[in-house]
C-alpha cells in the first residue's frame, strides 16, 4: 500500500466493459511528509476522493479485491481517504545499548592489513 494525493480525474468514454460506471482518478505517490514522489498514475477510485485529498492505494490483486470484482481490468485502486499521518521520531540511540560503529570499506582500515604494515 502507498500514500498518494489525488491530482485529478480521468474520463474514458471507450473502455473495457468491466470499467463501465467506475470512477477513475489521477494519483501521485507521496512520502509520509507529503512530498510528491513518482509518476502520476490512473487508479480506480472506490472512495469518491476529491482532488487534493491524501489517499491510500492498493496495487495488483489487492486493487481488484477493493473493487469487489476479481475480473476487473485494474491494477491500482484508491482504497481509503487518509485523515492523518503520524510519523514517530526515530531515536538516535536506544538507552542501554552501545552506539553502532561505522563500517569501513577501505582495505587499509582492516586489522590484518594494519598488522602487516606495522599499524601505519
pLDDT digits (tens, 9 = 90+) for 97-112: 666 666 555 444 444 4
Domain residue ranges in the chain: 2-81
Class for the domain spanning 2-81: mainly beta
Three-class HEC string of the chain: CEEEEEEEEECCCCCCHHHCCCCEEEEEEECCCCCEEEEEEEEEECCCCCCCCEEEEEECHHHHHHCCCCCCCCCEEEEEECCCCCCCCCCCCCCCCCCCCCCCCCHHHCHHHHHHCCCC
Answer yes or no: is pLDDT of 113 > 50.
Answer: no
pLDDT at position 111 is 47
Answer yes or no: is pLDDT of 84 > 70.
Answer: yes
pLDDT digits (tens, 9 = 90+) for 18-31: 888 899 999 999 99
Amino acid at each position: 500500500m502507498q500514500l498518494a494525493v489525488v491530482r485529478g480525474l480521468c474520463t474514458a468514454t471507450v473502455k473495457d466493459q468491466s470499467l463501465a460506471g467506475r470512477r477513475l482518478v489521477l494519483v501521485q505517490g507521496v512520502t509520509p511528509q507529503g512530498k510528491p514522489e513518482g509518476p502520476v498514475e490512473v487508479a480506480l477510485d472506490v472512495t469518491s476522493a476529491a482532488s487534493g485529498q491524501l489517499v491510500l492505494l492498493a496495487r495488483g490483486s489487492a486493487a481488484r479485491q477493493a473493487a469487489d470484482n476479481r475480473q476487473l481490468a485494474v491494477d491500482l485502486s484508491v482504497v481509503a481517504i487518509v485523515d492523518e499521518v503520524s510519523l514517530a521520531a526515530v531515536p538516535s540511540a536506544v538507552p542501554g545499548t552501545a552506539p553502532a560503529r561505522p563500517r569501513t570499506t577501505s582495505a587499509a582500515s582492516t586489522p590484518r592489513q594494519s598488522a602487516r604494515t606495522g599499524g601505519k
